[in-house]
Amino acid sequence: MKISCINTYLCSFMKVFKFGGASVKDAEAVKNVGKILQKFSGDKLLIVISAMGKTTNALERVMNEWYDGKLEEAHRELAEIKNFHNKIIGDLVGGDLQNNYHDVDNLFIELECNIENAPVNKDYNFLYDQIVGYGELISTKIVSIYLQSIKMENRWLDARNFIQTSSDYREAKINWDPTLDLISKKLLPLVNRQLVITQGFIGRNERNNTTTLGREGSDYSASIFAFCLDAESVTIWKDVAGVMNVDPKRMSGAKIMREISFNKAIELAYYGATILHPKTMQPLLRKSIPLYVRSFVDPDEKGSVIRKVDKTKEENITCYIFKDDQILLRLSSKDFSFIVESHLSSIFSMLAQLNIQVNVMQNSAISFSFCATYDERKFATLIPQLKEFFILEIFKDLTLITLHNFKGNELPDILKDKKILIEQHSKNVVQYVYQ
Ligand code: ASP
Ligand code: MG
């Protein structure tokens, strides 16, 4: 039975919407967000927005140039980011120079001041968060002011006042107790009253500094807000029609999966399905809050939903997950002895120290192979360390494909003419590393 609301102020039934970079990449896209929101004008909504288009990548470049002391380059790059946003504002206001976007200008002034002089503090990760987090502050200001201009009353809020985190800059962990407390006491009454616009990706630590939740972390922000607000659902608006069983750019015959269980979604994200951010599902699973993935291009299409699904009713379609930029290292001992536990333990401690995640591994009597995503800096440290103890064969530019729920015994067509370096079968997962 659904209890109907007599006092709308007390009833929550909130929805959290998340709009990613592509959904606000230009003025047309921002207007489209406005049209989508108009369809939900009767709902209580919290809107979480990412930086516009590829702004986060551009801010990363500003950060790197500034950090390396290339101040002129950093300012030039920042000027381009400013032009990009000013063009969007210009297109939104249609030449109305008396516009109300001063807050955006102020954010750019702050950013310019921040990078005026070479950094004194050399903590890269800390500085990164202080600079890169501006992408979301700017995008939400623009969307909020635009919505106001089309008479959609809304309240812009700084997510950092609610999302409380550890000081692990660039990978901040949520401090759940204060976050829950702030959101339920301070944010919930506001969302009950009006449309609220806030940022994904950013939070704040106990020292009052900005932190970020890791690249592509805005989905996770949406899920944290939904958890703490006891929202009825989260909707991620994307440029695809839903969650597909394979990236249509890589293989033909992609199908939309209409209903996916949390467990399956978590597994797919674990194997590298980029449409789902791995951390996003956990808070939603805890409270059984469904996650909708819908297209901002076709907002009337129903898309996909990730929720509690009865195991017997789950669609058993095969999913193909590709991971490029893989490196494979094959190690054998220098004295022809077997690879034993003591070798493995030293290999894994080196990997753990460098924070390298192994995607697939395989061992035989005389060799141990593993495949990981290539990172130039990390492998430049690891390879000489391993060479001290092992004979090393290195293969680069590989792809890892994971087949989830693969029934056939034969090689999938996509691998027919490929050189396969590792093949691994487990109960319902098959993985190949190929060139
Ligand atoms: N803007 C951030 C990024 O591009 C966060 C996000 O988009 O989810 O990584
Ligand atoms: Mg983004």
Q: Is 395 left (phi over 0), alpha (psi -120 to 50) or beta?
A: beta
CATH of domain 8-238: 3.40.1160.10
Mean pLDDT value across the chain: 92
| Letter string b/e over residues 187-208, b meaning 16 or more CB atoms within 10 A of that residue's CB | bbeebbeebbbbbbbbbbbeee
pLDDT in tens, 187-223: 999 999 999 999 999 999 999 999 999 999 999 999 9
CA-nearest of 271, 187, 274, 275 to 226 is: 187
pLDDT in tens, 361-378: 998 888 999 999 999 888
**Cα 293 to Cα 17, 39, 68, distances in angstroms:** 10, 17, 40
Does residue 7 surpass a pLDDT of 80?
Answer: no
Does residue 23 surpass a pLDDT of 80?
Answer: yes
Q: Confirm or reject CATH 3.30.2130.10 for domain 320-434, answering yes or no.
A: yes
Ligand closest in space to the Cα of 48: 1
Around Cβ 418, how many Cβ atoms within 10 Å? Answer: 15
Long-range pairs, 83-91, Cβ under 8 A, ≥24: 84/52, 84/53, 84/55, 84/58, 85/52, 85/55, 85/138, 85/142, 87/27, 88/26, 88/27, 88/30, 88/52, 88/142, 89/142, 90/27, 91/26, 91/27, 91/28
Alpha-carbon gap, residue 375 to 391, rounded angstroms: 21
- Burial class of residue 168 (count of CB atoms within 10 Å of its CB; 0-12, 13-18, 19+): middle
Give the whole-number percent of the chain exceeding pLDDT 70: 97
**pLDDT at position 6, please?**
46
Selected residue with higher pLDDT from 285 and 337: 285
**pLDDT at position 3, please?**
44
Closest Cα to atom 2, ligand 1: which residue? 216
CATH 3.30.2130.10 positions along the chain are 320-434
How sure is the predictor about 12, in pLDDT bands with cuts at 50, 70 and 90?
low
Radius of gyration for the chain, computed over Cα atoms and rounded to the nearest angstrom:
24
Selected residue with higher pLDDT from 241 and 413: 241
Pocket test for ligand 1, best of 59, 60, 132, 201 (most atoms within 8 A of CB): 201
pLDDT in tens, 299-351: 999 999 999 988 777 878 899 999 999 999 999 988 888 888 888 999 999 99
**pLDDT at position 33, please?**
98
53 Cβ below 6 A of ligand 1: no
* Residue 52 near residue 142 (C-beta atoms within 8 A): yes
The sheet that has 259-261: what strands, in order across it? 154-156, 195-199, 44-49, 14-19, 233-238, 291-295, 304-307, 259-261
Does residue 5 surpass a pLDDT of 80?
Answer: no
Alpha-carbon gap, residue 299 to 237, rounded angstroms: 8
In ligand 1, the atom with minimum distance to the C-alpha of 217 is 8
Instruction: Compute, in angstroms, the gap from residue 119 CA to the centroid of ligand 1.
Output: 24
CATH 3.40.1160.10 positions along the chain are 8-238
129 Cβ below 6 A of ligand 1: no
Selected residue with higher pLDDT from 303 and 412: 303
Mean pLDDT of 10-21: 84
Does residue 9 surpass a pLDDT of 60?
Answer: no
Instruction: Compute, in angstroms, the gap from residue 359 CA to the centroid of ligand 2.
Output: 24
- Any idea which of 253-262, 271-280, 386-395 has the lowest mean pLDDT? 271-280
Alpha-carbon gap, residue 407 to 318, rounded angstroms: 8
Alpha-carbon gap, residue 122 to 227, rounded angstroms: 36
Both tokens of residue 123?
Answer: 């903590």
